Amino acid sequence: MSSITRAFIATNIFCILLGQSGAALIPGSDRSEGQGPFSRMVIRGGTLINGNGSPPIGPVDIVIEDNRITRVQSVGYPGVPIDEGRRPKKGDFEIDASGQYIMPGFVDLHAHAGSPQKAPITDYVYKLWLAHGVTTVRGVGLASLEFSLSEKNRSESNKITAPRIWAYQRPGQGKDWRGGKVQDPQTARKWVRYAANKGVDGVKLVSYEPDLMEALIDEAIKQKLGTTAHLGQTGVARMNTIDAARLGLGTQTHFYGLFESMYEHNDVQPYPVNMNYNNEQHRFAQVARQWDLVKPNGEKWESLKKELLELDITLDPTMNIYAAGRNVMYARNAEWHEKYTLPSLWNFFMPSREAHGSYWFDWTTHDEIAWKKFYQIWMQFLNEYKNSGGRVTTGSDSGFIYKLFGFAFIEELELLQEAGFHPLEVVRAATLHGAETLHKPLGTKPDFGLVAPGYLADLIIVDENPLANFKVLYGTGAIKLNDKNKPVRVGGINTTIKDGIVYNAKQLLKDIENMVIEAKKKDGDLIKY
């Protein structure tokens, strides 16, 4: 059965389920896409960006045996015929990457698999990720504990067309957990041990009470589980970034708690007296109005940066998920929505008082200016933290606020460059540093995130130089003017390799396009408003 046929069938199932009460998230279909792994695969003649921050080198030949890189061989010089005598012997399967660029597969540290009401078919999400070079995701959570672990195991054995999955779950999750709500330190420790026994990789936290947070993090460290936290506004006055970092938090996702750790003249954000957190326009408009409560390079700024470095916390900013706050018209009208966004997901994005992240009740120029100023300060801190030796990674949190899976991840790369990261530093953040973050709680060396012997065969091949323009990594590519004075579309990833399995990235996008076409037959075109 072809991948397109399978996409049609999956979409029909999706339509049926959506028409029923109790619609559920649909696991990935049994894999029929991709070729391999091969006993010996050779990628020939490409220019390598290896992920460790070093400059591109090429032409190179890369030898992969089963799903491991065994050799990376420089085979010549640009503009000079390749010396065939230097090339590795023939493989069972070969890819001609002449004139193309090779990178490690991307690591998305903030991933969700969709939901029944907006994107119920996980194939849709998985293929969008793979089509954009994302070969590893950290689910925070991907979905329920049981669903996440099942999909993690199926991806690990390559039974589904999906990135590698690391499962981080929220305290209290688990159908057979009998310990009750996690509301005290003893129960917290019991749940962490339960989760570790289940095979969970880490814990997704919020701003818990200090004694509860301490128990969760401490027990996670003992069980060699990772920790990441969204330190939301409702708890940040008692648990901000530095508070959590001192307890041993591994990763902060988003920015909540960062600014609050270095207020100059406040202890809590001075919200308007009519503030209501459940009004999401209040929630998201007000959070940006912290930009002038901190002093860049002031005493508290420098002290925070120094201590976070000493505590070795990773910052996973997920800047793209809030970028619509800076320019909602751009986000709403992004060129990929019409072809690749499901009507159900689009409906979730539309302004609503109930749908999370759909807070455009009356979004104003004032709101956008506040977010632009907020980003300036946020980006400055991230760049300085990176320059001082801190680890900054890439996450997307797609499926909210007009951000589409895969496409939003590439936007995150652009935003890191805007923050001051050199493109090579961006690629390192999106590859090696993500892998290091996942492996750090285990005390083990990463085996992905780098193109080098011994590493897993997670690779991206694209025919344009991404360091020159990250836009060529979008599924829609980039627009250039050719030598005939005609605009042409270039780029889009050609090939994504995960665990030695070779996927046609553009065919995966075609599958998505067909899913959307079928969904529109039932649900109609995207509503214009």
Fold classification of 174-334+346-426 is TIM Barrel (3.20.20)
CA-based angle 451:453:454, to the nearest 5?
105
Tell me what pLDDT residue 257 has. 96
Quick: pLDDT tens for 244-287.
999 999 999 999 999 999 999 999 999 999 999 999 999 999 99
| C-alpha span between 524 and 345 (Å, rounded) | 12
- Residues of the chain short of pLDDT 70, as ranges, are 1-22
Q: What 8-state DSSP symbol labels residue 30?
A: B
In contact, 253 and 109? CB cutoff 8 Å: yes
Tell me what pLDDT residue 16 has. 33
Partners of 43 in the beta sheet?
A: 62, 95
**3-state secondary structure (DSSP) of residue 294:** coil
* Structural domain boundaries in the chain: 1-169+335-345+427-529, 174-334+346-426
Is there a shared CATH topology between the 1-169+335-345+427-529 domain and the 174-334+346-426 domain?
A: no
Beta carbons within 8 Å of 76's beta carbon, 6+ residues apart: 59, 82, 83, 86
Q: pTM of this prediction?
A: 0.94
In contact, 420 and 379? CB cutoff 8 Å: yes
CA distances from 306 to 312, 384, 385 (A): 10, 11, 9
Tell me what pLDDT residue 414 has. 98
Tell me what pLDDT residue 471 has. 98
Q: Which value, in Å, is the radius of gyration of the alpha carbons in the chain? A: 23
Quick: pLDDT tens for 391-401.
999 999 999 99
CATH 2.30.40.10 fits 1-169+335-345+427-529, yes or no: yes
The identity of residue 18, as a single letter, is L
